[in-house]
C-alpha cells in the first residue's frame, strides 16, 4: 500500500443562519474543493481538520493531536481576519471577520510549527500567518491604500489577474526560475500591512507594492502567497504553481523521514 503524505486543510465555518435551507440551526465546517484537489495533484492525501474546540470533548481532542498525526498544514482562503487578532478595532462592521476561525487557525499554526512541520497559507491563510506571528493587515485595500489596482472583482472573481513582482534571490525566485509566466489571480480586499518579525517579503504587486508572498526566515518552514494557486489553469496563461506545491510537500516528506 502506498504511503501518502497526510496534509491537513484548515476548515472554513458557516454559522447558524435561518435563511439557509439545510442545517440552518447548525454550524458547518467545510473546505472549498479546489484546495484539496491541488494538494492531491502532488500525490498527497488531504485531510480536513475539524475544529476540536467546545465543551463536548473537554480537551480530549486538541489541535496538537492533528499536528502530531499529519505531515503538514495548508490554510486556505475565506472570511476576513478579525482585526482584534492584531489588536485593532474593525473600521466597518462588514470587516469584522471571523474571530472564531482566527483562534482555531492560529492554534493550528502554532501546533504544527512546534512539531517542526511545514505550514503553507493561501490568501487569507497568508494573512493569518502574518497575524499569528505578530504582523498586521490593511482591513480594506481600496479605502486604505492609494492604488488603482483592483485586487478583488466580484464578477471576474478568480479570473481577475495582475502581474507579479518576485524579489530577486528569494526562495520563491529560486523555485520559479524557468517559469516565466508571472500573471496571478487576485481575490482579496485585505493585505499585509506590517510584516511579522522573522519574515521576509518574496513578492509584491508591481502596481502598488501590495505584499503577495511571505516566508519565515528562521528554522520553521512557514510560507504563504496572496493569490490562489489552486485556481490557476494553463489556459489562463497564469503562473505555474507546481514548484510551490512540490517544495511544500518536499519539506513535509523531509520532516516525516527525519
Enzyme catalytic residues: 123, 228, 230
Per the rule left: phi > 0, alpha: psi between -120 and 50, beta: everything else, 89 is beta
Contact call for residues 186 and 161 (beta carbons, < 8 A): yes
Contact call for residues 135 and 193 (beta carbons, < 8 A): yes
CA–CA distance, 254 with 250 (Å, rounded to integer): 6
Strands 137-138, 119-122: pairing kind:
unpaired
CA–CA distance, 124 with 117 (Å, rounded to integer): 20
Q: Which stretches of 15-143 are assigned E, i.e. beta strand?
A: 28-30, 45-49, 72-75, 119-122, 137-138
Q: Which residues pair with 49 in a beta bridge?
A: 10
Cell, residue 168: 530577486
- In three-state secondary structure terms, 232 is coil
Q: What are phi and psi of 172, to 5 degrees?
A: -65, -40
Q: What are phi and psi of 62, to 5 degrees?
A: -135, 175
Amino acid at each position: 500500500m502506498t504511503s501518502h503524505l497526510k496534509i491537513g486543510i484548515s476548515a472554513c465555518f458557516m454559522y447558524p443562519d435561518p435563511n439557509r435551507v439545510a442545517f440552518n440551526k447548525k454550524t458547518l465546517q467545510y473546505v472549498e474543493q479546489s484546495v484539496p484537489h491541488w494538494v492531491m495533484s502532488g500525490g498527497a492525501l488531504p485531510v480536513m481538520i475539524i475544529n476540536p474546540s467546545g465543551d463536548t470533548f473537554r480537551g480530549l481532542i486538541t489541535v496538537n493531536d492533528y499536528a502530531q498525526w499529519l505531515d503538514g498544514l495548508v490554510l486556505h482562503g475565506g472570511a476576513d481576519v478579525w482585526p482584534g487578532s492584531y489588536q485593532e478595532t474593525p473600521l466597518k462592521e462588514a470587516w469584522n471577520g471571523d474571530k472564531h476561525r482566527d483562534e482555531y487557525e492560529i492554534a493550528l499554526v502554532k501546533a504544527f510549527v512546534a512539531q517542526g512541520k511545514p505550514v503553507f497559507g493561501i490568501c487569507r491563510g497568508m494573512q493569518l500567518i502574518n497575524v499569528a506571528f505578530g504582523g498586521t493587515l490593511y482591513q480594506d485595500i481600496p479605502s486604505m491604500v492609494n492604488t488603482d489596482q483592483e485586487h478583488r472583482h466580484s464578477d471576474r472573481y478568480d479570473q481577475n489577474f495582475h502581474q507579479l513582482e518576485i524579489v530577486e534571490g528569494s526562495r520563491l525566485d529560486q523555485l520559479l526560475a524557468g517559469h516565466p509566466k508571472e500573471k496571478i489571480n487576485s481575490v482579496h480586499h485585505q493585505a499585509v500591512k506590517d510584516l511579522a518579525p522573522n519574515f521576509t517579503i518574496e513578492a509584491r504587486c508591481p502596481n502598488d507594492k501590495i505584499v503577495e508572498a511571505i516566508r519565515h526566515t528562521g528554522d520553521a518552514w512557514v510560507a504563504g502567497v496572496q493569490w490562489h494557486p489552486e485556481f490557476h489553469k494553463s489556459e489562463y496563461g497564469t503562473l505555474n504553481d507546481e514548484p510551490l506545491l512540490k517544495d511544500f510537500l518536499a519539506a513535509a516528506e523531509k520532516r516525516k523521514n527525519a
